Amino acid sequence: MKLIVGLGNPGKKYDETRHNIGFRVIDELSKSFNIPLNQEKFKGVFGFDTINGEKVFLLKPLTYMNLSGESVRPLMDFYKIDIEDVVVVYDDLDLPPGKIRLRQKGGHGGHNGIKSLLAHLGTENFKRIRVGVGRPEAGVAVANYVLSTFRPDERQEMEEAVSQASKACESWLSKDFLNVMNSFN
């Protein structure tokens, strides 16, 4: 079994924000795999299907970003999904808009959603796909920045980043994550 988690915040007002890039990747995968996100449980919305003989889950935690682990851990426990079979997609301030970076493990880098996952999963050994959203200009609070929408000049590169992150997830379903990293980093 494999679990792909996209981090974000629930609600229409957050749909197009920088912080919801993980949700956008899950939505893209839902369409391309034809897996409806029609189950609400474990403080999240998810769907699953069998792809290449393996059950694949797509999850959007509905806990708000800072409590993401409260959704991921119970789903993993219920379905007995190993930490090695989890990848988390989320926004990253340290990457320029549109750039993606894959990692096999790591710290939280100041990201509150990842802090919550580290606390609830008890390990930093989970795969990540970081999607760059850039840094705010001087004087703009980080919280306000990540809850803002993309500027018109950033939208095309962000659509490409969502597509690339989705393709990386899809590639991971049939390849070792190290090979996927080598292809997409």
The annotated binding site for tRNA is made up of 14, 64, 66, 112
CB 58 within 8 A of CB 46: yes
Catalytic residue among 19, 108, 111, 120: 19
Residue 44's closest CA among 117, 111, 102? 117
Show binding-site residues: 14, 64, 66, 112
For residue 181, the surrounding DSSP H or E stretch is: helix 177-184
Using CA atoms, how far apart are residues 115 and 104, in angstroms rounded to an integer?
16
Asked whether 146 and 97 are in contact (CB, 8 A), the reply is no
How many of the other CB atoms lie within 10 Å of CB of 49? Answer: 13
Is residue 19 annotated as a catalytic residue, yes or no? yes
Tokens linked to 158? 């962000």
Q: Which residues are catalytic?
A: 19
